[in-house]
Structure 1
Amino acid sequence: MDRTRFLTILGVVASITAILMYVSYITTIQHNLSGAKGDPIQPLVAAINCTLWVGYGLLKKPKIDWPIVVANAPGIVFGLAACITAL
């Protein structure tokens, strides 16, 4: 397998696992909404981190780094939701 193909596959796999990591916040959000509040700091920091990575990916030249953008965009939404529902 050549390097370009390997990096493409690696980017897809990394993006999928990152998305799954942030989608897993759904159970945290459900617990928060049911009254078993969790700590809001970790999901807030994750949302900030993901916002920075999405910004980096969108501003990368000469072209947008879509694997970084796609992998981190759900972290903004789910991280903020987990943080807000924990308050």
Structure 2
Amino acid sequence: MDDLLRLPGRTTRTCCARSIVAAISKKEKLPKAESRNTYRSCESHVCLYLRPHLAHIRRDKLSVAHPDGMFDAIVEHNDLIAEYRASGDPCKVAAVK
């Protein structure tokens, strides 16, 4: 039986982990969710976070360190955005919009 992955958020909709992996590697689209907003949210997470950080890694080579690195990169990027916005420099602020 396929491993199930619960999507984040309020939804109780589950989808197959293989579908998520296929969507990350651009082989398939995500399975349609009950709500259009849930689908859009999941799709944006795949496009913004999962695909850029994990798509180049083969599934059999994926380890716990890979998602940890992804989360570290997200935190660093968010810190950079906060720094640019706090600088008051219009060029930096425009760069992170």
Normalised by the length of structure 1, the TM-score is 0.32
Q: TM-score, normalised by structure 2?
A: 0.30
Structure with larger RCO (C-alpha < 8 A, sep 6+): 1
Between Structure 1 and Structure 2, whose CA radius of gyration is higher?
A: 2
Which structure has the highest strand share of the two?
2
